[in-house]
Every structure is written in C-alpha cells, then in structure tokens.
C-alpha cells in the first residue's frame, strides 16, 4: 500500500500521547468518572470497553475539551485539556458516537469546511480531501448532499473527516456501528499503517468485543472506574475463565440451579452462566440437571467473560441487549 500523504513534520513529541490523572466527573450529583488514571503511549491502539453509561463518552468529552472535569487533570499530546485547549484540540481528530456532519452540505463541502476550520492551505485541503474520500470509497458521492447518505456512508465520511488534518491522536467513539466488515477492515488497516508510520495514537470506546480484540491495550471501565487494564491476551489469561452457558427448561429449573449454584450468573432473560474451570463440579452439575436444560454451551475465555467475571454482569446491559444483539448480528451479516 502506498501512502497518499505528504510527510508529517518530525519533531520531538511526548512519548505519552494521553495522560489522565485521577479524573473525576459528576452529572447532577451522580458520579460518572471516579478518579480514573490512564497513560496511553504514542502510536498505540487503546480501547475503552464498558457498557453504556460506564463513563466512556464522558471521558472522551473531557479529553476532547468539550467538558470540564470536576477533579483531576488530563492532557493530550502534552497539552492540558483545561488550560491549553487550543493546543490540545490541534492534535486531535474526533469521531463522535452520533453524526456531527452538516447534512445540508455535500461530502466535499463537509471536508472543505473541516479543512478551513483547521486552517489548512487550499492545496493541502484538496489533496487530503481527495485522499480521505478515496480511503472510505466515497469519491463517487463527493458532490452529493449528505442528507441522502445512508448511515454507513455518513459514518465513513465522518471517519474520513477526522483524518483529514492528520491528527496525532484519533478518538473513535463507538466507531464501527453501521459499517460493513470490508470497510471496517480497510479503515483499521489504514489506521494501523498510520500508527506505524507517523505514530498515530488511536483511542476507541466501545461496548462491542469484536472491536477491541486487535487493540494493544484494553481498559475495562464500569461505573466510572477502571476495573482492569492490559492486552487482550493478558486480560483473558488473568481474569477469563471457561464458562458453561445453559438455558433451563423452565422457571422451576432455573430456580433450582440458582439454589444449588449461587455462583451462577443470569444471562439475558432465560439463560445462566456458570464458571466451568472446575471439571468435576461441571460434570456433577450436568449430570444433575441434564434433563432440565434445553441448551448447553461451553464458552472459552473472551473479553466478554472477563467482563462477566469482573463485574458479575454482562457487557451489554439488559435494557438494550436485544437491540444491540440485533445490531451486532446485522454488522456480522446476519451470522451468529
């Protein structure tokens, strides 16, 4: 792959791209972030994983200077997000969870606006706009009004726009919702290349496991606290365990299992998850309840089970579980 980009100026840049020190935030008396401390080295891919409402977006909003922290400090690319806002913003590219495109402008006009607001020279604007449009394969739609775009196209344009001014640090808030697998792969490949070539740092927030498996570091966050941090492999070997997922035949069976195995976790409406590291216990359980189960499945350690064992809850909270599962299935092309 050849890079369509001009060389970035090579200056002495801090080795730590994002530094967060005892950061706290509250919303109407409710704590959203509770003394979060983080260090993200330059050129790495860092994923914040947690359920909706865990505080991920609040953290991103503070880091992108949209919100002031209620305590602690944070800096991006060496610039304090409260005292050196302009400097901090200059180094950032942000893709928000919800669209922030102007849907009365064309794709090109949205990029042109972005380039102007970031003070880019006309020639550079044109070159970069063409390059990022090509990256997300929207060249054929460059003069179409964004209002006519599908959700996936908007998402692609938004990612293209965030990369236009060649940021040092890229924030992706729930980035790949609505993207097909092929586009996602191409964008991640491009981001990996940028990380290698120009030490781009990527900070992703998500509540989808699939998106964080390739991250260098995964940070699991729940109720505004960091509960685990490490590479996906390390997290799995440390906290992950084998689980047995079962669906009891009826409520009576479910109650019976829960009475006998207090370590069983509820899974959705009808299912249960039991730790299955102890082979003998698992065998005993299966023998006892064999006829009262409709479904039995072993689950090897995943980040999902890491989350489950750390918090006692599933990553996708009950309320939006079904919708998310549907969405996720949609993104996987209907395959389960």
Partner 1 sequence: MNTFVMALRGLYGVWLREITRATRDRAQLIGGISRPLIWLLILGVGLNPYFRGEVYGEVRYVIPYTYLQFLFPAVIVLNIMYTSIQFAVSVIWDREFGFLREVLVSPMPRWLILLGKVLGGATVAMLHGGLVLILARFADVTLSLEQTAVALALMFVLAFGLTSFGVILAARVRSFEGFGVFSNTVILPLYFTSSSVFPLDPALTRAQQAVTYPEWLVFLVQINPITYAVDALRGVLINFNQFPPLWGPLVIVAMAVVFFIIALIDFNRQ
**Minimal distance, residue 292 CB to partner 1, in Å:** 50
Smallest gap from residue 146 Cβ to partner 1 (A)? 11
Q: Does 188 bind partner 1 (CB under 8 A)?
A: no
Q: Beta partners for 47?
A: 204, 218
Number of C-beta neighbours around residue 48 at 10 A: 27
Q: How far is the CB of 109 from partner 1 (least distance, A)?
A: 6
Positions in 145-174 near partner 1 (CB under 8 A): 161
Q: What is the DSSP letter of 288?
A: H
Q: Give the whole-angstrom CA distance, residue 129 versus residue 197.
A: 20
Give DSSP secondary structure letters for 189-242: HHHHHHHHHH--EEEEEES-GGGTTT-SEEEEEETTEEEEEE-HHHHHHHH---
For partner 1, the binding residue among 90, 242, 249, 327 (CB under 8 A) is 90
User: What is the number of H-type helices and E-type strands within the chain?
Assistant: 11, 14
* Residue 283 lies near partner 1 (rule: CB under 8 A): no
Which CB, 24 or 97, lies closer to partner 1? 97
Sheet holding 271-275, edge to edge: 265-267, 271-275, 243-248, 293-299
Please, what is the minimum distance in Å from the beta carbon of residue 20 to partner 1? Answer: 17
Scored b (16 or more CB within 10 A) or e, 87-113 reads: ebbbbbbbbbeebebeeeebbbebbbe
Report the site for partner 1 in 12-71 (rule: CB under 8 A): 64-66
Among 102, 197, 278, 300, binds partner 1 (CB under 8 A): 102
* Residue 105 in the binding site for partner 1 (CB under 8 A): yes
> In the complex, what is the shortest distance from the CB of residue 103 to partner 1, in angstroms, rounded to a whole number?
8
Radius of gyration, alpha carbons of the chain:
22
> Could you tell me the smallest distance in angstroms from the CB atom of residue 158 to partner 1?
9
- Per rule CB under 8 A, is residue 266 in the interface with partner 1? no
Sole window of 92-100, 128-136, 194-202, 208-216 interacting with partner 1 (rule: CB under 8 A): 92-100
The footprint of partner 1 on residues 306-335 (CB under 8 A) is none
Which range in 33-41, 97-105, 132-140, 242-250 contacts partner 1 by CB under 8 A? 97-105
Instruction: Please identify which residue in 2, 86, 269, 287 interacts with partner 1, judged by CB under 8 A.
Output: 86
Q: Out of 31, 39, 84, 99, point to the residue binding partner 1 (CB under 8 A).
A: 99
For residue 82, how far is the Cα from the chain centroid?
Answer: 24
Query: Which of 192, 195, 120 minimizes the C-alpha distance to 161?
Result: 120
Q: How far apart are the C-alpha atoms of 277 and 202, rounded to whole Å?
A: 35
CA 49, 304, 162: angle at the middle one, nearest 5? 30
Instruction: State yes or no: residue 259 binds partner 1 (CB under 8 A).
Output: no
Question: Which range in 105-113, 248-256, 299-307, 318-326 contacts partner 1 by CB under 8 A?
Answer: 105-113
Q: Is 104 in the site for partner 1 (CB under 8 A)?
A: yes
Q: How far is the CB of 97 from partner 1 (least distance, A)?
A: 9
- Which of 56, 89, 156, 331 binds partner 1 (CB under 8 A)? It is 89
CA distances (Å), origin 21, targets 15, 54, 65, 310: 16, 18, 15, 23
Restricting to residues 112-151, which ones interact with partner 1 according to CB under 8 A? 112-120
Q: How far apart are the first and last CA of the chain?
A: 32
Q: Summarize as ranges the residues that interact with partner 1 (CB under 8 A).
A: 64-66, 86, 89-90, 92, 94, 96, 98-105, 109, 112-120, 161
């Amino acid at each position: 792959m050849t890079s369509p980009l001009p060389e970035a100026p090579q200056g002495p840049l801090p080795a730590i791209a994002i530094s967060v020190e005892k950061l706290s935030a509250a919303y109407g008396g409710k704590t959203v972030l509770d003394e979060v401390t983080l260090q993200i080295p330059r050129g790495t891919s860092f994923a914040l994983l947690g359920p909706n409402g865990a505080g991920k977006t609040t953290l991103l909003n503070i880091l992108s200077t949209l919100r002031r922290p209620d305590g602690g400090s944070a800096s991006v690319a060496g610039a304090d997000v409260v005292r050196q806002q302009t400097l901090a913003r200059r180094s950032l590219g942000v893709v928000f969870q919800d669209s922030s495109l102007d849907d009365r402008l064309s794709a090109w006009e949205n990029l042109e606006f972005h380039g102007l607001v970031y003070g880019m020279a006309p020639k550079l604007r044109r070159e970069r706009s063409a390059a990022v449009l090509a990256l997300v394969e929207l060249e054929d739609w460059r003069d179409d009004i964004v209002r006519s775009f599908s959700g996936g196209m908007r998402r692609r344009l938004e990612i293209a726009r965030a990369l236009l001014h060649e940021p040092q640090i890229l924030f992706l808030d729930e980035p790949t919702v609505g993207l097909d697998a092929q586009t996602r792969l191409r964008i991640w490949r491009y981001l990996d290349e940028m990380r290698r070539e120009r030490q781009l740092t990527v900070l992703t927030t998500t509540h989808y496991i699939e998106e964080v498996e390739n991250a260098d570091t995964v940070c699991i966050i729940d109720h505004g606290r960091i509960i685990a941090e490490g590479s996906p492999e390390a997290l799995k070997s440390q906290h992950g365990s084998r689980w047995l997922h079962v669906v009891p035949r009826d409520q009576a069976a479910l109650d019976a299992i829960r009475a006998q195995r207090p370590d069983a976790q509820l899974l959705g409406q009808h299912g249960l998850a039991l730790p299955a590291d102890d082979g003998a216990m698992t065998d005993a359980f299966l023998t006892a309840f064999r006829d009262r189960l409709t479904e039995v499945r072993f689950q090897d350690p995943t980040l999902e089970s890491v989350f489950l064992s750390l918090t006692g809850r599933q990553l996708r909270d009950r309320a939006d579980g079904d919708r998310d599962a549907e969405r996720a299935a949609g993104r996987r092309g209907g395959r389960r």
